Structure 1
Amino acid sequence: MSGIAGFVGRETPATLRIRVVEDMVQTDAMQRRGPDSQGTVVADERVVLGNTRLRVTDMRNSEADMPMQSADGMLTLTFNGEIYNHLDLRRLCPDYHFRTKSDAESLLAIYQRHGLDMLSMLEGMFAFCLHDRSARRTLLAVDPTGQKPLYYTLGAGDELYFASDIETILRIPHLNFSWDREGLAQAAGIMFVFGPHTHIREIKKLEAGCCLVVEQGERPRHRRYHKIVIGDELQQDVTAITERIRDAVAAGCTRCFDLEIPYAYLLSGGIDSSSVVARARRQGLELHTYAIGFPESGLRAAAIMHNEFSYSRLVAEAFGTEHREIEVTSQIYCEAMDRWWSLCCEPNGAPEAVCLFLLLEQIAADGHRVAFCGSGPDEVFDGYSHGHRLKTIPSRLVAGAYFDYFNAVGDIDLGQLMLEVDARAAFISAVQPYLDLYAHDTQDSQQLTCLLDYHGECVVSEYRQIDMASMAHSIEVRIPLADQQVIQSAFSFLPRLKHYEDSEKWIFKQAMSPWLPSTISSRKKIGFPVPQMVYASPEFEARMESSLEPDSGLDKLGLFDMAYLRRAWRERRSRGYDIFYRLHGMDVIARRHSSYLSPKDPPA
């Protein structure tokens, strides 16, 4: 696990860019990502790579630090993530002389043998840049699930800068940046920025399952090397389907469980996290589980969400875990929210991220360097019933209906909030390339909605918050149920089985039921326990009032009708607080990032 950064550019002396990359590696965000080692390597006269490493695999071997070079010096790699099948890849490279046991070196070996074709051979989570001096080629790639971020920008003359964190790029002294109003509108309207865009016009994110190839003297070429394959949508054999899902979950967990350092488990008591714990018990692993929630005494009877401690305790008792609970009050939440937003490099409007941030902070404090979580199945198996709700919508209307149904803006009129930018149109425009990607594979609206959930809410929102929250505490989070086989199994049967007999995620529950207590496998989905009353607390109200002041970050964006927003805040009702949470976060980020958007002098 690491932070990566670098420069790929014209054939000018690399010494002119070494200092820039060295400074990128020194940023606070990069240091948190990799507190154990840091380095910068000149790969050739046009490529400089930097890395900060959190030692997890082959952790006691300094030769596994990065950037890493092949023995002949022809290949240079900066890599973030974990390749779970790296031992299998080594067996495919019998002629390579390995100096470490690290998965990073397995990447070098398999590339040396298979070139760009190696991307389809990797299983795990990753973002990396690999420079091949002999071929005069640089490859940047992100895994098919997009768990690890890679942001990039093109400077003058097609110079490419990249990093694991947006703010690391924003700090480059000679590059100019501006707000992406359509991206900001998406973040305000539906919580995240879909596709390759960010809230900064000049900075893009490399999408899941995509790569950039930079050949000598050419512009970077963007290529998608992976997409979900839609299987037989008429398959209704429940026994065969559930066996395939169960086998995929078991294999995904086994791949992730190969560790040499202390680890823990996030346990909400839902079916996903409980399935991971159940599999770990079957494999005889140590079980340190953690749950977080709000005390029952602090919740109103009408609260939409509540803590799930009774369920997580049941699972902990069933599998004999060493279990710890963390209680959160409104004051604790808002204080943690301040720290969370101060670290976020892009708008991410999921309010449960603050609880995740607190949970991982405690796990790290207890000495764990790796944590396992159960994210992933909700989106692909329709755990939120989004696909079920839109199953009768014509496929050509899915994008707009998705925005209308799931934007969580309460009574706010987005047209009045943002007079000059249409958030709905911006979202539809960003989503359309993904619908086009699967246009010849399925026209089932429930299936398409699950695909949008996956590429958007899961990859862009949930996995990004997991990455930012974990890296804030220098801890690695592994997501066994994000395994490609698990994801693929969710799109290989009749879509209606995802929501069946009035049960969301029905087929996944059937698959996991042999592993779990019946109370867990049959329970209804309730989401993460962040009660709406937290946003009605005096602590949150004080913070939101600051965001509504003249000359606040929101005001200076020039995107919002602040008079309308102030009125909407005063007249708010019991629902729709989510948009105020994400607007407050946008305000904090805008205040911090605005200083980087002033015009800068060109490099000397």
Structure 2
Amino acid sequence: MCGLTGIVTADGRTPERATLEAMNTAQAHRGPDQHDCALLAGAGLGHRRLTIIDPASGEQPMRSEDGRYTLVYNGEIYNYRALNAELEQAGYHFDGHCDTETLLRAWQHWGESCVDHLRGMFAFAIWDAQTQRVFLARDRLGIKPLYYGLTADGDLVFGSELKTLMAHPRIGRSVEPRALECYLALGYVPEPYAIFRDTFKLAAGHTLSWQPGAAPSPTAYWDLDFETRQSDAPEATATELHERLDEAVRMRLVADVPLGAFLSGGVDSSAVVSLMAGASDEPVKTCAIGFDHADFDESDHARQVARQFGTDHREHRIASQEFGLIDTLVDVYDEPFADSSALPTYRVCELARQQVKVALSGDGGDENFAGYRRHRLHWNESRARAKLPASIRKPVFGVLGALYPKMDWAPRVFRAKTTFQSLAMDTAEAYCHSVSVIPQDLRERLYSTAFKSELDGYRARDLFRAHGDNAGTEHALSIAQYLDFKTWLPGDILTKVDRASMAHGLEVRVPLLDHEFVGWSASLRPDLKLHRGQGKYVLKKAFEGHLSDDILYRRKQGFSAPIADWFRGPLRDAGEGALTAGPLVDCGVFDRSALADLWEQHVSGRRDHGPAIWSLLMLSRFLARQLGGATHDVTTTAEPAHA
């Protein structure tokens, strides 16, 4: 696991060493073991290495024998041994047994189609000195990140984190309004956007081949297919699921350094630990995070699984006094990032790194098998939506959604406002509404007139609609899962884990996101995932007899923080300060009176705006730390280089 960065100049000049080294140093945490830069005519490539396999070789940048190709790479290719055997048959020689050399030989043999042969998580860049072209690629699910952008001089810069691009003196820091709208809706900046204009994320499953003078134009090489196999039987499918996941876990146990696992006590991480225990001769090293707030604490269940499989288990408990970590998180994530579970994720990575250098996680189970409560609600709403023509449904439920009061304090059965609003929408917009941290109607009230003009009608729902049009399925649940794989999973879950883990020099592997396993699970009938209101139905069936019913069938708790209570308690001063003074008030994006009203409604107990206030607090800290409070350019009209 590593960090990469690079510059390709518009005029063929050799980049300045000081600039390239500054970009590489900005990501030093991603690779504390080795670092180097290669300066070439037309390009410069930098790399930081965290050694996991074959520490004695695999230094990067790696060059081909003839000097034509130079590679920098971040990730793990789990099928590298099989690829080595195939490439040796084709006449290629290997000096070591690291997967970096495998990737270089694969490029020499297959060219751009080498990505089709890789099974793993990766982001890489290959410079071709002969054609003066750079090739960027990112793994199918977006486990490993890759940012790119254009400088004012037309140079292409890229790196594993946005901070590497920001170390270049010719990359601007003007905030992209559409990215900010998406952040305020979702709590993260979804791909292809990055928070600054003319900077982008290379989307999951995409490549980018670029020569100076061209507009960057990413190309998709892989996508999810939700075409179902109608003959699936639950028992046989559960057995196959267990076998497939076991293979994915075993592939991820190859390492030349200590290895362990995150254990939350939920179904997904417990399933991974159970398979690791079956494949390991030594006790699995596990770690967990607890809260001093009982409603958010799963540590008892984690201990139960640890006892069952005899793991070497460690815990850390998060208390209110750990809020000093907020500014650290702002620095770690580069962009505003409002998933409150980033705090415990940072701590569990810190805890894991004390014992191991690689940890397996259970991320991806909810996305693969419809494990979120919102999946059930979305499917139910879609059935109701299908019973009424849009000509009746939209005006009737639109009026009900507008008039029905928002009653966060009432029992759940009486909180119908969001449901009424969703029933007036199309499928993709309704799902965007269901996952929004700050709903669109509230964002409209918060925005200033100037910022609304800057957005020119753009809303986060437009991104969801664009993805929904490409889903290739009409089933509402499959559309929701597809949208999760395009937005939530790479933008929130995988970003959270990558930055938190790499901040501690820890590699995290995600067997539930093996692309072959994901492709297989996508092909399952929706009712095998969500069955009679039970999410992850077939996954739970697959682990009956391996995990207790208390682990498999208890109410989903989620890995989050009690932020609503925090803002009425230990974070009250921080929340009030963010919403009544400072960058949020001065940046030109928000209506000051609307911010003050939002705060008053929350602290009075009339409304629960905890997630919205957390998002605004993290944005305030981002504006202050990353932009030094210089936020006047947020509402400066400019066209991005491309979308």
Shared fold (TM-score greater than 0.5)?
A: yes
For the residue of structure 1 that corresponds to 2:157, the secondary structure is: strand
| Residue in structure 1 matching 2:500, options 452, 469, 474 | 469
| Residue in structure 1 matching 2:428, options 399, 403, 409 | 399
Q: 1:198 deviation in Å?
A: 1.8
CA contact 1:249–1:481 (8 Å) conserved in 2:
yes
For the residue of structure 2 that corresponds to 1:265, the secondary structure is: strand
Rounded Cα–Cα distance in structure 2 between residues aligned with 1:160 and 1:65:
24
CA contact 1:387–1:445 (8 Å) conserved in 2:
no
Q: Encode CA deviations 1:261-280: one digit per residue, 9 max, x unaligned.
A: 11221101111000111011
Q: Confirm whether residue 8 of structure 1 aligns to residue 21 of structure 2.
A: no
- One-letter code aligned to 1:479: V
Q: 1:529 deviation in Å?
A: 4.6
Q: Encode CA deviations 1:320-377: one digit per residue, 9 max, x unaligned.
A: 0111121111112x1223322232211222111100101111222x232111111001
| Residue in structure 1 matching 2:360, options 364, 372, 395 | 372
For the residue of structure 2 that corresponds to 1:258, the secondary structure is: coil
- 1:555-570 residue pairs with structure 2 within 5 A? 555-570=585-600
| Equivalent residue number for residue 18 of structure 2 | 19
TM-score (norm. length: structure 1): 0.91
Q: Encode CA deviations 1:75-107: one digit per residue, 9 max, x unaligned.
A: 111111111111111111112222222111110
Q: Which moved more, 1:47-56 or 1:569-578?
A: 569-578
Cα 1:48–1:106 change in 2 (3 A) is same
- 1:30-429 residue pairs with structure 2 within 5 A? 30-42=27-39, 44-59=40-55, 61=56, 63-94=57-88, 95-156=91-152, 158-215=154-211, 218-232=214-228, 234-284=230-280, 285-295=282-292, 298-299=293-294, 305-332=295-322, 334-364=323-353, 366-391=354-379, 392-393=381-382, 397-409=426-438, 413-419=442-448, 420-421=451-452, 425-429=458-462
Q: 1:222 deviation in Å?
A: 1.4
Rounded Cα–Cα distance in structure 2 between residues aligned with 1:37 and 1:96:
26
CA contact 2:207–2:220 (8 Å) conserved in 1:
yes
- One-letter code aligned to 1:36: D
Rounded Cα–Cα distance in structure 2 between residues aligned with 1:504 and 1:172:
46
Cα 1:390–1:233 change in 2 (3 A) is farther
Rounded Cα–Cα distance in structure 2 between residues aligned with 1:164 and 1:424:
32
Q: Which moved more, 1:248-257 or 1:416-425?
A: 416-425
CA contact 2:253–2:259 (8 Å) conserved in 1:
no
CA contact 1:235–1:492 (8 Å) conserved in 2:
no
| Residue in structure 1 matching 2:627, options 576, 594, 602 | 594
Percent sequence identity over aligned pairs: 28
- One-letter code aligned to 2:465: Q
Q: Which moved more, 1:522-531 or 1:307-316?
A: 522-531
Rounded Cα–Cα distance in structure 1 between residues aligned with 2:304 and 2:560:
17
- One-letter code aligned to 1:501: R
For the residue of structure 2 that corresponds to 1:93, the secondary structure is: helix
TM-score (norm. length: structure 2): 0.86
Q: 1:113 deviation in Å?
A: 0.8
Number of aligned residue pairs: 581
CA contact 1:137–1:213 (8 Å) conserved in 2:
yes
Cα 1:425–1:449 change in 2 (3 A) is farther
Q: 1:411 deviation in Å?
A: 11
Cα 1:78–1:70 change in 2 (3 A) is same
Q: 1:387 deviation in Å?
A: 2.8
Q: Which moved more, 1:513-522 or 1:420-429?
A: 420-429
| Equivalent residue number for residue 494 of structure 1 | 525
- One-letter code aligned to 1:491: A
| Equivalent residue number for residue 535 of structure 1 | 566
Q: Encode CA deviations 1:250-303: one digit per residue, 9 max, x unaligned.
A: 1111111111111221101111000111011111253111111113xx54xxxx
Q: 1:533 deviation in Å?
A: 5.1
| Equivalent residue number for residue 434 of structure 1 | 467
CA contact 1:243–1:511 (8 Å) conserved in 2:
yes
| Equivalent residue number for residue 408 of structure 2 | none
CA contact 2:172–2:196 (8 Å) conserved in 1:
no
| Equivalent residue number for residue 608 of structure 2 | 575
| Equivalent residue number for residue 409 of structure 2 | none
CA contact 1:233–1:495 (8 Å) conserved in 2:
no
Rounded Cα–Cα distance in structure 2 between residues aligned with 1:190 and 1:216:
35
Q: Encode CA deviations 1:39-59: one digit per residue, 9 max, x unaligned.
A: 1102x4111101111111112
CA contact 2:375–2:477 (8 Å) conserved in 1:
yes
CA contact 1:4–1:164 (8 Å) conserved in 2:
yes
| Equivalent residue number for residue 602 of structure 1 | none
Rounded Cα–Cα distance in structure 1 between residues aligned with 2:186 and 2:171:
29
After superposition, the CA RMSD in angstroms is 2.3
Q: 1:558 deviation in Å?
A: 1.6
Q: 1:498 deviation in Å?
A: 1.6
Cα 1:281–1:34 change in 2 (3 A) is same
